[in-house]
Structures are given as C-alpha cells and as structure tokens.
C-alpha cells in the first residue's frame, strides 16, 4: 500500500468516526462513545480536511505544504449531487445537526466544494418554520423545535456536561433526517444567500474602516475608474474581493 493509499484509508476511517459510525462495519457507535461528542466530531472533521489537503498537494511534499489562506484553492460553496445524497447513512439513533452536516460533507467532492455546517441546516429550518428562537442560558439565543418541527421528528434532548452543566440539543429522528435530505437544495441555496450577505457585511465594514462610510463602495469604484484605474488597480486600492468589484462595475456599465 502506498503512502497516498494509507492516508486515503485513514481519512475514510476518520470520516466514519466523525459521523458516529464504526468504520469497519458501518454500524452506529454507542450513544456514550466519545466520538458522539460534538466537539470531538468537529475536530475529527477538521483533521479529515487537513488530510484531504495533504493528499491533494501530493505525498512527499508535506515539508513544503503550507496552510496559508493565500495558497489554498478557492472552493465553491457546498453542493451534493443527487447520486451522492443517496449514499447518506440514516441512523435509527437520533442525530445532532452537526452529525448530519458532517455526514453530508463527507460525501461531497472535497477538491471542489466546501463542507456544510450545521448552522446552515439550522437557519434553513428556522426560515421554514420548523425551529424558533428563544432566550437561552447567559442571554444566548437557542433554537428549539416548533410544533411543526416536533411533528417532523426533531426532538429536544437534555444533557449534562462533564462540569455538571445542564444543556439541551436538538436531535433528528430518521423522518427528520430524511426531511433534511429531501430539502437539501433549499438548505444549499439558503446557505449561499447567507454567505453573500455575510460577505457584503464584511465589505461594508471595510468601507467603514477605510472611508468612514459603509455605503461608499460604488462612489469609490466610480472615482477610481474615472481616474483611469484598471480593474486590478481598483481591487488593490479598495481591498475588496474581485467578484464584488467586477459585479459592481458591470452594474455601472464599466465592463
């Protein structure tokens, strides 16, 4: 077995563990198993992503491998083909939203797409009326199932941390897991829209910090364009992402 094959197999095993399954026979692990802990699951998923990047870069180049953001291949937002969705393993043991997101992420084309976060599923279900917000511990907002969510199969589970702290998590029964898969297109589109809004907010904050106003980007681009600046010079000057600058310039008939 080559080093690449060993690392690929190791990544496969880690993916199964992150999803709460025994990698040897694909059976669910016990509810009290340490890999059921959401923090452990997220850490395993992170290790899996790093392994994927090392495999992608090529075995034998680890010493030169860098995790600098500028050197990473820019991936598209999460997407999963219809064929890949059929490979999702449903669990009779109710799953957390993180476990569902991790399971779906493990089925994606890792070289092309980013992983799916549990928050994307939660926010889509919130928008659809299956979850609602209510004040939680220390003023934080908690998401709890609505009557429609409970009827769907989302249940509220009480847990106790190692520090004897009582907290609650939402668990998804098989029907609720199936609903997420059936409505994955909505989750994906809602997630993309959420990311666009987040990106726009970051750009506004950059403008506020640099020019003292959030809504000044169009004016800045127009001034630079009229002064003869190229697209690349405008991007460098504003420090705004290329796709946003180009979109703005097209809207103002500059391109």
140-175 pLDDT tens trace = 889 999 999 999 999 999 888 777 888 889 999 999
Q: Are 28 and 21 in contact (CB under 8 A)?
A: yes
pLDDT at 100: 95
SS3 143: strand
**pLDDT confidence bin for 176, thresholds 50/70/90:** very high
Distance CA 75, CA 181 (A): 22
Helix 217-226 and helix 184-211, axial crossing angle in degrees, nearest 10: 70
Q: Which of 49-63, 164-178, 220-234 has the highest mean pLDDT?
A: 164-178
**pLDDT confidence bin for 178, thresholds 50/70/90:** very high
Range in 37-41, 97-101, 103-107 with the lowest mean pLDDT: 37-41
Counting beta carbons within 10 angstroms of the beta carbon of residue 28, is it exposed (0 to 12), middle (13 to 18) or buried (19 or more)? middle
pLDDT at 37: 76
Distance CA 100, CA 106 (A): 10
Distance CA 157, CA 142 (A): 13
Q: What is the pLDDT of residues 116-138, one digit of tens each?
A: 999 999 999 999 999 999 987 66
pLDDT at 171: 97
pLDDT at 70: 44
Q: What is the mean pLDDT of the chain?
A: 84
pLDDT at 67: 45
Distance CA 179, CA 167 (A): 25
Tell me which DSSP letter residue 161 carries: -
pLDDT at 214: 63
Q: What is the pLDDT of residues 36-48, one digit of tens each?
A: 777 787 788 888 8
Distance CA 215, CA 220 (A): 10
**pLDDT confidence bin for 73, thresholds 50/70/90:** low
Residue 202: enclosing H or E segment and its boundaries?
A: helix 184-211
pLDDT at 63: 43
Distance CA 58, CA 63 (A): 11
Contacting residues for 51 by C-beta, under 8 A, at least 6 apart: 7, 10, 11, 14
Strand 131-135 and strand 166-172: pairing?
unpaired
């Amino acid at each position: 077995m080559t080093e690449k094959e060993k690392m690929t197999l190791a990544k496969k095993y880690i993916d199964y563990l992150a999803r709460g399954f025994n990698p040897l026979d694909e059976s669910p692990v016990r509810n009290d198993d340490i890999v059921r802990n959401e923090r452990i699951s997220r850490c395993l998923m992170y290790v899996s992503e790093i392994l994927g990047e090392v495999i992608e870069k090529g075995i034998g180049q680890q010493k030169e491998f860098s995790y600098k953001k500028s050197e990473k291949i820019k991936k598209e937002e999460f997407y999963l083909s219809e064929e890949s969705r059929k490979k999702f393993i449903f669990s009779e043991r109710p799953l957390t939203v993180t476990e569902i997101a991790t399971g779906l992420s493990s089925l994606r084309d890792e070289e092309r797409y980013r992983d799916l976060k549990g928050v994307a599923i939660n926010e889509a279900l919130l928008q659809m009326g299956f979850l609602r917000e209510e004040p939680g511990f220390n003023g934080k907002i908690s998401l709890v199932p609505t009557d429609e969510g409970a009827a769907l199969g989302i249940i509220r589970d009480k847990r106790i941390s190692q520090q004897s702290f009582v907290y609650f998590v939402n668990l998804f029964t098989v029907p609720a897991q199936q609903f997420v898969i059936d409505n994955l297109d909505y989750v994906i589109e809602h997630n993309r829209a959420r990311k666009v809004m987040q990106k726009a907010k970051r750009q506004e904050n950059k403008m506020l910090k640099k020019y003292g106003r959030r809504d000044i980007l169009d004016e800045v681009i127009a001034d630079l364009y009229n002064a003869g600046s190229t697209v690349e010079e405008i991007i460098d000057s504003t420090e705004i992402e290329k796709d946003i600058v180009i979109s703005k310039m097209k809207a103002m008939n500059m391109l």
